[in-house]
Structure 1
Amino acid sequence: MWLECPSISQEARPGQFVMVRCGEETVLRRPLSIHQTGDDRLALLYAVIGKGTQWLAARQPGDEIDVLGPLGNGFTVLPEPQNLLLVAGGIGIAPLYYLADMAVKDGKQVTLLYGTANKDRYPVPAGVTEVASTEDGSVGYRGMITELIPQYLEGADQVFACGPLPMLQNMANMPELKERSVQISLEMRMGCGFGVCYSCTIKTGHGLKQVCKDGPVFELNDIIWEEIRI
């Protein structure tokens, strides 16, 4: 979904999100990753799984939507690295698409490991080297995308990931990533998006953090995964 939103699109950076009011029947706004930006517009990519996203999917051109953002801290791409490795699981492609697109435009080499349950997949940016996996074997490697990470780590200057909790927990347990900096975007339920309600508080190696305010991007190995409840 593309939205005309100059004030947000001009300030946004990969990894940030917006809080969207989804009709009168939903009390809380929905946090959605910024998927793309361009020409004073921003794109949101989401799965329709409840009343809020059902309402959002029913909007028509010309409808107005109440959106707050950009919020949170995004990914940090260092100036020197030229080879980026991205790991996406399912709808976790949403913020990584934005990151990959910006990195390619900045002249960097991007390899995207993209895993889904089946052949229903979202497109990836031009110029990205995509490595696909599906749980049913309908596209690419048959199995979990995390199984492919070790063979693509060599030569990767920075690693980024976003996906379901089990995928990220699996990555946190991989010996190959224990000594690596891996920036992950954490998907959690949020109440306010500003760090006021504390509903998205998690435990990290540096104390309690709020996903909306301190994240949603964190270091993989800084999160105490045993305490995460989503």
Structure 2
Amino acid sequence: MRGVRWRAMPTLASYLTDPRPAVRLRAVMAAGTTPSVDDLELLVEQCAVEPDLQVREVLTWALVRLPAEVVVPRLVGELERPEPQARSQALHTLSKIRDGSVYPQVAGRLSDVDPGVARTAWRAAVLLAPESAHPELARTLAVQLGQGDPETRLALSRAIAGLGAEVAGPVLAAAAEHRNDAVREHAAETLRLLDDPDAGSALAVARARREVALGRTRAAKG
């Protein structure tokens, strides 16, 4: 009709650039509800830049609903991205797809320079590793005992405990005899978690209290 200006319908790409998280969330939910491989690139790219945690979780859900044979190779490629969030989100999504064939690539991120990426890699590796790789994985993870902040230490404990007592027990028993105090303490915490999976919250609280106490001591000395 003359005089009427035609306006294009909003696309997934335009919705994903909206500054409102609720709009982006609805757009990703719609994409996941009617999954299309045509949306793969947009969804993966959004994973690297999406600031909202809830939207990132729905991005993972939407990607999992696409055919694994096209999603998995694309996510593996993200593990080499310079942006930590891209690597972390790819690891998280791969852990949900549960394709054990990508374990070697996931294991390559166990010592990622970014602590958040490393924590995600630990969780993903425990879920994706074949049973034959569990002993080696336990030894690799145990090397990092005693390092990092409380959140990182608890994440490592949970990952090692996730391998089960038969695999993790001997490794932790050896670490409990380490000459470094921090390693021995962390090994003891992890053994406790291995015996009582519900102890994780208590460990987090106890460690936070120790950190506060140490901070006060340092302040008094300084």
Choose between structure 1 and 2: higher strand proportion. Answer: 1
Same fold (TM over 0.5): no
Higher helix share: 2
Q: Which has the higher contact order (CA 8 A, sep 6+)?
A: 1
Q: Give the TM-score normalised by structure 1.
A: 0.25
TM-score relative to the length of structure 2: 0.26
Structure index of larger Rg: 2
